[in-house]
Amino acid sequence: MTTWMPQAPAPERVPAGASAEGDGIVIGAGPITIDVYIDFLCPFCKRFEEVAGPTLDRLVADGLVNIIYHPMAFLDRLSTNHYSSRASASSGCAADGGRFKEYAYALFANQPPEGGPGLTDEVLIDIGRSVGLAEPAFAQCVLGRVYLDWAAYVTFVASQRGVGATPTVTVDGVSVPANPRAITAAVAAIVS
């Protein structure tokens, strides 16, 4: 018996550096895959990046891992202007400019509070400029909301995988606590 399963809405295009499935941005080329599911409005995600970001960067620099960041739009309902979707889409524009990671850090550093308006598109563009995305193509991408359908796709695929909260972290497909010690231990167990 065949059961009907809803299909992910395929985006018109995916950002540069997207994973093979198109649902995240790949950083690094190591043999172990760490999937990180984030929402740029999520205060726990901001804290995760502040605490675990240096460890993740070191694991990438050491050639041990590749990280697939999945910028989701779970928290649109907690802003008055669909900030999670717009921030996720703008991160795709940053990936096209080769600055996804720097832009993600800057988005978290400038995170608006839940419950009110998120940052405007103009502020998202200014944040891009602050990390070296000064070319007109980045601003046009953000203002044109080129990757809004990609943000919806990333969120849909994550939900289909059972991701119900952010941040969520897996190491080679196995869920681990979203903290540097647990991630490092999971990577070390695979390497040894």
Q: Give domain limits for the chain.
A: 25-191
Percent of the chain with pLDDT over 90: 89
70-123 pLDDT, tens digit each: 999 999 999 889 999 999 999 999 999 999 999 999 999 999 998 888 999 999
Instruction: Give yes or no for residue 4 having a pLDDT over 90.
Output: no
Beta strand pairing call for 25-27 and 168-171: unpaired
Q: Which amino acid is at 117?
A: P
Q: Please give the average per-residue pLDDT across 138-154, as a whole number.
A: 97
* pLDDT at site 2: 40
Which option is the CATH number for 25-191: 3.40.30.10, 3.40.50.2000, 2.150.10.10, 2.40.30.10? 3.40.30.10
35-82 pLDDT, tens digit each: 999 999 999 999 999 999 999 999 999 999 999 999 999 999 998 899
Q: In what order do the strands lie in the sheet with 65-72?
A: 25-27, 65-72, 32-39, 168-171, 174-176
Q: Mutual orientation of helices 136-143 and 83-96 as an angle, nearest 10°?
A: 150
Q: Please give the average per-residue pLDDT across 164-179, as a whole number.
A: 97
Q: Residue 3 — pLDDT band, cuts 50, 70, 90? A: very low
E strands present in the chain: 25-27, 32-39, 65-72, 168-171, 174-176
Q: Residue 10 — pLDDT band, cuts 50, 70, 90? A: confident
Residue 65's Cβ-side half-sphere holds a number of Cα atoms within 13 Å equal to 25
Q: Residue 181 — pLDDT band, cuts 50, 70, 90? A: very high
* pLDDT at site 137: 98
Q: Residue 164 — pLDDT band, cuts 50, 70, 90? A: very high
- CA–CA gap between residue 78 and residue 57 (Å, rounded): 30
**Residues for the chain: how many in total?**
192
